[in-house]
């Protein structure tokens, strides 16, 4: 229920929603432009996704050092403990950012925005939170991230469950003791894989409900020392952060674009793939031959390699077929792979059951646990819903954002499909920008790389407006139509449409099936955005 909060009623230059990477970058840089800027953040602390996702095993899939902002004043005073840091470290990182950039004074926490309405007369947004805070602002920045709206399937009887049940994105901040408990996990996406491998050593029995096997890749986690990082900071960090702007996914490694996997001998391919496997992380995905994403034959070869590696680690023949089937359920790499550390060994444990719900779907949740269509009831003390998010668009459409025609953005995109101009702006919603959102290079990217480059573009655009005395900017309808066509045509040349994935909006019943990301990679995207600027912000209309 909405309560009023008359103590906060502000008139400012820019209102940022969200205090994750994108939000803090915006706050700092807009303030540096001389704009009065505030953040409304739904959580009680910084971190965005890392505030909410404190489930067992939550950690990032980007490797050292690139999962941080590239500002020297930040990285100089910061060292991670692990190559792939977990949620606790990431929260500490955000506290470091807060301290160095002096952010807290401009952030309202526990402030979930419910609506934003454009005022055409004043060229301003009025933004209201659930607890009644009001901000009037010239510019509105939606830094809501890709995973701020979690998704719970409409399971019959869910509320009847008598044990402990949480979605991973609403895991209690104080944690849940799973030691010696009977635990069920529904979902084997990136999150499910992390939970499963983390809790497996502690529970009395683990039951995994899998609909589609995750084509998980080896993380190759390492502990890292401050000495190692200090040395890298001197010699390498600037180069590595620059490199992130030059690669398809904003990582330090890149797809092989100059040849097909089929141009080289099977032996050369094998050697390359073994190297990627050993180096770990997303390399088998985003440093592979680029035509893995467009050529079915290449994709089949990649899958065969992956399947052999996984099957080698499993003892039971039935488990091999469930987790790494002979026939791939979808092209490898076209659903988000998880990075795993000991995931497959979990299924060699005698106290682990894998229920294939593509064969026997979940019928209902009962007071004791989960009942499947074949009548079996699995009993639990703890039930984990690792069922994902209304991803990429959900954080934006959850807010009742009304533009020049008074239509809510969610309704508009639902009917017409997602329309944006260069993934940062949309027609009829003037002076509103979003980053790390739809139709950008978002979901194949290292988060901070993508957020930073979009944030910088937006800040430069606002600087341009201030210099020219403009108070209004709006994306042109024809320009955004063309950008949508570009997004669709890039995607049509890939195998992504063949997978029922959240990249295509296919994980949420009723959501329009369409590519939510630009699949042309960061260098192409950046070049296009720069051309827009060089052509005097082609595709945008300005007014005073």
Tell me the residue nearest to ligand NA7 as measured from the CB: 189
CB closer to ligand NA7, 34 vs 172: 172
Contact predicate 401/480, CB 8 Å: no
Place of tokens 């934003």: 116
Single out the residue of 70, 443, 91, 81 nearest to residue 252, CA to CA: 70
Q: Where do runs of H (alpha helix) occur along 68-110? A: 72-75, 87-101
212 touches ligand NA7 (CB under 6 A)? yes
Least Å from the CB of residue 425 to ligand NA7: 23
CB closer to ligand NA7, 141 vs 516: 516
Site string for ligand NA7, 319-348 (x = CB under 6 A): -----------------x------------
Contact predicate 354/111, CB 8 Å: no
Least Å from the CB of residue 389 to ligand NA7: 6
Tally the C-alpha atoms within 13 A of residue 542's C-alpha that lie toward its C-beta. Answer: 14
87 touches ligand NA7 (CB under 6 A)? no
> Both tokens of residue 462?
């606002």
C-alpha distances in Å from residue 44, one per residue of 107, 116, 263? 10, 21, 53
Site string for ligand NA7, 126-165 (x = CB under 6 A): ---------------------x-----x------------
Q: Where do runs of H (alpha helix) occur along 280-422? A: 283-286, 296-312, 317-323, 343-346, 394-397, 409-416
For residue 543, the cross-strand partners are 472
3-state secondary structure of 439: coil
186 touches ligand NA7 (CB under 6 A)? yes
Least Å from the CB of residue 187 to ligand NA7: 3
Contacts of residue 239, defined as CB under 8 A and 6 or more positions apart, other chains included, come to none
Candidate list 64, 103, 190, 208; residue touching ligand NA7; CB under 6 A: 190
Candidate list 18, 20, 23, 187; residue touching ligand NA7; CB under 6 A: 187
Least Å from the CB of residue 189 to ligand NA7: 2
Which residues in the 19-38 window bind ligand NA7 by CB under 6 A? none
Which residues in the 434-493 window bind ligand NA7 by CB under 6 A? none
Tally the C-alpha atoms within 13 A of residue 169's C-alpha that lie toward its C-beta. Answer: 18
3-state secondary structure of 434: strand
251 touches ligand NA7 (CB under 6 A)? no
Candidate list 116, 128, 357, 398; residue touching ligand NA7; CB under 6 A: 357
CB closer to ligand NA7, 384 vs 432: 384
Which residues in the 253-282 window bind ligand NA7 by CB under 6 A? none
C-alpha–C-alpha distance, residues 197 and 67, integer Å: 22
CB closer to ligand NA7, 28 vs 161: 161
C-alpha–C-alpha distance, residues 378 and 301, integer Å: 38
DSSP 336: P
CB closer to ligand NA7, 184 vs 403: 184
C-alpha distances in Å from residue 105, one per residue of 32, 90, 102, 479? 15, 21, 7, 38
Which residues in the 497-536 window bind ligand NA7 by CB under 6 A? 502, 507
Candidate list 192, 218, 280, 423; residue touching ligand NA7; CB under 6 A: 192
C-alpha distances in Å from residue 65, one per residue of 129, 233, 341, 413? 35, 9, 19, 36
CB closer to ligand NA7, 79 vs 207: 207
Burial class (CB in 10 A: 0-12, 13-18, 19+), 421: buried
CB closer to ligand NA7, 249 vs 430: 249
CB closer to ligand NA7, 75 vs 502: 502
Least Å from the CB of residue 171 to ligand NA7: 12
Least Å from the CB of residue 417 to ligand NA7: 20
CB closer to ligand NA7, 109 vs 155: 155
CB closer to ligand NA7, 12 vs 396: 396
For residue 183, the cross-strand partners are 206, 382
Candidate list 133, 205, 211, 419; residue touching ligand NA7; CB under 6 A: 211
How many residues sit in the footprint of ligand NA7 (CB under 6 A)?
A: 20
Contacts of residue 280, defined as CB under 8 A and 6 or more positions apart, other chains included, come to 63, 217, 218, 219, 220, 221, 339
Least Å from the CB of residue 69 to ligand NA7: 19
CB closer to ligand NA7, 22 vs 403: 22
Q: Which stretch binds ligand NA7 (CB under 6 A): 180-188, 196-204, 219-227, 530-538?
A: 180-188
Sign, CA torsion 292/297/299/304: negative
Which residues in the 359-418 window bind ligand NA7 by CB under 6 A? 362, 386-389
Least Å from the CB of residue 215 to ligand NA7: 11
295 touches ligand NA7 (CB under 6 A)? no
3-state secondary structure of 134: strand
Q: How far apart are the first and last CA of the chain?
A: 39
Least Å from the CB of residue 386 to ligand NA7: 6
Chain residues in the site for ligand NA7 (CB under 6 A): 147, 153, 186-192, 211-212, 336, 357, 362, 386-389, 502, 507
């Amino acid at each position: 229920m909405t309560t009023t909060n008359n103590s906060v009623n502000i008139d400012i230059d820019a209102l940022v929603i969200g205090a994750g990477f994108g939000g803090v970058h915006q706050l700092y840089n807009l303030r540096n432009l001389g704009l009065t800027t505030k953040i409304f953040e739904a959580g009680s602390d910084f971190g965005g996704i890392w505030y909410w996702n404190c489930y067992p095993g939550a950690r990032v899939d980007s490797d050292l050092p690139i999962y941080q902002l590239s500002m020297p004043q930040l990285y100089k005073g910061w060292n991670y403990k692990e190559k792939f840091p977990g949620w606790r470290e990431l929260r500490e990182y955000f506290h470091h950012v807060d301290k160095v950039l002096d952010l807290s004074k401009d952030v309202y926490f526990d402030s979930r925005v419910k609506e934003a309405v454009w005022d055409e007369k004043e060229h301003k947004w009025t933004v209201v939170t659930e607890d009644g805070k009001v901000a009037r602002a010239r510019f509105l920045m939606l830094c809501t991230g890709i995973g701020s709206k979690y998704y719970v399937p409409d399971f019959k009887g869910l509320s009847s469950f008598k044990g402990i049940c949480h979605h991973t994105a609403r895991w209690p901040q104080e944690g849940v003791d799973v030691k010696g408990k009977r635990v069920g996990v529904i979902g084997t996406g990136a999150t499910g894989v992390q939970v499963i491998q983390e809790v497996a050593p502690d529970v009395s029995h683990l039951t995994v409900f899998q609909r589609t096997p995750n084509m998980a890749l080896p993380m190759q986690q390492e502990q890292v020392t401050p000495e190692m990082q200090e040395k890298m900071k001197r010699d390498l960090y600037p180069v590595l952060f620059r490199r992130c702007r030059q690669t398809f996914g904003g990582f330090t490694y890149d797809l092989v674009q100059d040849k097909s996997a089929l141009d080289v001998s099977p032996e050369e391919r094998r050697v390359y793939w073994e190297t990627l496997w050993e180096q770990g992380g997303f390399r088998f995905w985003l440093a592979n031959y680029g035509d893995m994403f467009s050529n079915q034959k290449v994709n089949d070869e990649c899958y065969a390699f992956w399947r052999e590696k996984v099957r080698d680690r499993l003892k039971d023949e039935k488990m091999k077929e469930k987790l790494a089937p002979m026939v791939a359920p979808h092209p490898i790499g076209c659903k988000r792979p998880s990075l795993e550390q000991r995931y497959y060994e979990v299924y060699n444990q005698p106290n682990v059951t894998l229920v294939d719900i593509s064969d026997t779907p979940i019928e209902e949740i009962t007071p004791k646990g989960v009942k499947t269509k074949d009548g079996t009831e699995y009993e639990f003390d703890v039930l984990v819903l690792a069922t994902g998010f209304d991803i990429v668009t959900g954080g934006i459409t959850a807010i009742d954002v009304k533009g020049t025609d008074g239509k809510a953005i969610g309704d508009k995109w639902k009917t017409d499909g997602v329309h944006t101009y260069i993934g940062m702006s949309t027609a009829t919603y003037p002076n509103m920008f979003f980053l790390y959102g739809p139709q950008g290079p978002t979901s194949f990217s290292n988060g901070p790389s993508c957020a930073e480059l979009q944030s910088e573009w937006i800040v430069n655009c606002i600087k341009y407006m201030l210099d020219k005395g403009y108070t209004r900017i709006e994306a042109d309808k024809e320009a955004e139509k063309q950008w949508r066509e570009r997004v669709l045509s890039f995607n049509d040349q890939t195998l992504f449409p063949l997978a029922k994935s959240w990249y295509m909006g296919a994980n949420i019943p009723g959501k329009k099936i369409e590519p939510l990301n630009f699949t042309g990679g960061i260098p192409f995207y950046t070049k296009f955005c720069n051309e827009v600027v060089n052509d005097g912000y082609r595709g945008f209309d300005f007014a005073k």
